Structure 1
């Protein structure tokens, strides 16, 4: 399968992911269970926490302590507070009887999301939550279905919090994931899902009516980050599934494995990324009208839909996005984007792909070169036919105060630290 990069509307076919080599050389580091993590030369990694349950996103304080959000509570605790001792992080506190994904530290508060609400907790001068039992509710009543239910969050520099509300549907069919079922006209669920909503961090108990539907046409966003160079929101969308199984007369199994692209978008208020009416085809280099809405695999979609900033191969499940602002890594990484790919389940007959951390170099707020696989080997094998075979599955990303980055794994409950030592 080819690696495809979209920059400025131009798609470039690259090396296959299985034969990719690092331009600067590479190093292999055994972490546990015989798993070797491959990194560019000069980088190192180690496991700093284990057996945490299913850690999703994490946020790190300026003293190096961290808060971790669990997909499901463990012993009634969905938020963990960890502190470092002798190179390892230990849980010193846990609270919040709700699962989810989103967590973020800003201006003396810890923000955390359940699948329907966003809370905030006041921190003391030691970065500890003052009252773990009585958080303030910032947003309530968010739509939750049986899929794409978690709420990822990020905060800008103007007291705005951005919340993903994933679509509780694959492609807004009259009968979800049923062969040949047509799309619901207008896709009414877009009024409360399938996009990014903006709320104020300074107001309590906000609902949809008090927020702003900041961007729409996004099936599901898990990884998102605020870019301080462009002063704008970037998100990674999970693309739709099952083109071949739902419309076998239009798509073969190979197309099903390679379409649509997983897309990095820069979002402005009012943007529409096209779901469910369109998907991005990296080979045709354009948005294509979805088959549920009269598409045939070639018909261009409306020009009202935005194009991605970068298009990645299909079905890799991008769950973490981080713009690197530290000084520890070499200059090429400054202000570039790291993406944690959780790994695919639906690329058959191709093997499953992902299970790595990728990097896109940026300059002046724009991509400045081909994306590359930065940290690979988490799956423990190059021949994964089912996601369940992966040893580790990258999910969340965060930057530490020393410029290292941290990667969560929600398969075994692990946190990895990646640092640069120049050796």
Structure 2
């Protein structure tokens, strides 16, 4: 376990300035200077860290130390699931989880109502299976380049998955597609960027796509989204919200993770603009100034700690939690690697007031241990179970946790 300090500098035409400046002036000069066009030099010095906490096993003792708000409890729902990623649940109590590494969709069920899954069955095998969504008695499964739909049988098993779309672009840095269905009955598919920050040659990258449920009429709905794995619709307002990953290698606290109101036709700034209008030193917008690009960009409604890595997001629509949770959202964070002190490794609650997000609040914490030098869970999937509990997946120890309110 070690911390590695990396320095990345973008320096142009500054030799004469450095020779003429005092040490104090030089210190000030090293702050980012990002002009509107290439007619002036761009310079930025950035210190960035790599720090990955050690991985530990999810022992009973460690799980007992997990923290949730008063009145809630957390325990294992299922384990030994490998790289457990995205979750989906039906009103009948069937829970599906993808194991991306093995290309499996696994069915889980708590048949005796004791809060733990006692039924487990692989119901589909598709290479790189990742995103899941339940709609119109079908389970939709997205891999890197394909979308499949399978009928859900009464017992939760699936009919043979049918390919409905095969034209998603290559994966690159962010191959983990997710999908969902809006109140309008349309299918939405998140396609991440191929890189940290670059002009994408394929316009489908770094977007939110929209299509009919049969995969037809696929189009770009919103763009400039680096990697919006988690998204959903507010149950009262039907407004579309998503958590986007900020750019790496810009420092401990830059750039923030973003909660965006996703709007048809909007551009969210990546890779040139981040946070509330800040300029990214490299790359530079083509054929326009930074100010012009910022003017056409939509800024986030809320920002969260940089590098926490938001994953699946779900609005609470169950009937077990206290009433003030209805209409709020939960977000799972897989956790940072690109900051000196770790962040994420938790689930947060997004509190909405009158349909508007107002703040983040910790909900499930305690996976970081040993003075933040180790962890026993990197969280990915979220789903509201039919009984109103919240399920959370960890893709390192292969555990799904169940958070219940002790009524």
Question: Shorter chain as normaliser: what TM range?
Answer: 0.7 to 0.9
Q: Name 1:152's counterpart in structure 2.
A: 178
Name which of 345, 350, 361 aligns with 2:351: 361
Whether the 8 Å contact between 2:335 and 2:343 is mirrored in structure 1 is yes
Q: Name 2:228's counterpart in structure 1.
A: 221
Q: Name 1:27's counterpart in structure 2.
A: none
Name which of 297, 302, 308 aligns with 1:305: 297
Q: Name 2:213's counterpart in structure 1.
A: 201
Whether the 8 Å contact between 2:126 and 2:143 is mirrored in structure 1 is no
What does 1:206-355 correspond to in 2, within 5 Å? 206=216, 210-243=217-250, 256-280=251-275, 286-294=276-284, 302-348=294-340, 351-355=341-345
- Give the CA deviation at 1:48: 1.1
- Give the CA deviation at 1:190: 5.2
- Give the CA deviation at 1:63: 2.0
Q: Name 2:367's counterpart in structure 1.
A: 378
Q: Name 2:44's counterpart in structure 1.
A: none
Whether the 8 Å contact between 1:161 and 1:199 is mirrored in structure 2 is yes
Q: Distance in 1 between matches of 2:164 and 2:241?
A: 22
Q: Distance in 2 between matches of 1:95 and 1:293?
A: 41
Post-superposition Cα deviations, 1:62-101, rounded to whole Å, max 9, x if no partner, equal 121211111211xxx5111111144321312332232232
- Give the CA deviation at 1:31: 6.6
Q: Distance in 1 between matches of 2:94 and 2:239?
A: 27
Name which of 409, 413, 419 aligns with 2:394: 409
Matched, 1:95 2:102: no
Whether the 8 Å contact between 2:192 and 2:228 is mirrored in structure 1 is yes
Task: Decide whether aligned partners of structure 1 residues 417 and 291 sit closer, same or farther in structure 2, where only a CA change above 3 A counts.
Answer: same
Structure 1 residue runs of 5 or longer lacking an equivalent are 1-29, 173-186, 244-255, 281-285
Q: Distance in 1 between matches of 2:146 and 2:348?
A: 30
- Give the CA deviation at 1:166: 0.7
Whether the 8 Å contact between 2:105 and 2:129 is mirrored in structure 1 is no
Q: Secondary structure at the match of 1:371?
A: strand
Q: Distance in 1 between matches of 2:233 and 2:321?
A: 20
TM-score by length of 1: 0.77
Q: Secondary structure at the match of 2:347?
A: strand
- Give the CA deviation at 1:158: 2.9
- Give the CA deviation at 1:229: 1.9
Q: Distance in 2 between matches of 1:33 and 1:189?
A: 49
- Give the CA deviation at 1:258: 0.2
TM-score by length of 2: 0.79
Q: Name 2:49's counterpart in structure 1.
A: none
Q: Based on CA coordinates, which of the two structures has the bigger radius of gyration?
A: 2
Q: Distance in 1 between matches of 2:129 and 2:370?
A: 29
Q: Secondary structure at the match of 1:397?
A: strand
Q: Secondary structure at the match of 2:188?
A: strand
Task: Decide whether aligned partners of structure 1 residues 260 and 293 sit closer, same or farther in structure 2, where only a CA change above 3 A counts.
Answer: same
Whether the 8 Å contact between 1:224 and 1:234 is mirrored in structure 2 is yes
Q: Name 2:27's counterpart in structure 1.
A: none
Whether the 8 Å contact between 2:197 and 2:283 is mirrored in structure 1 is no
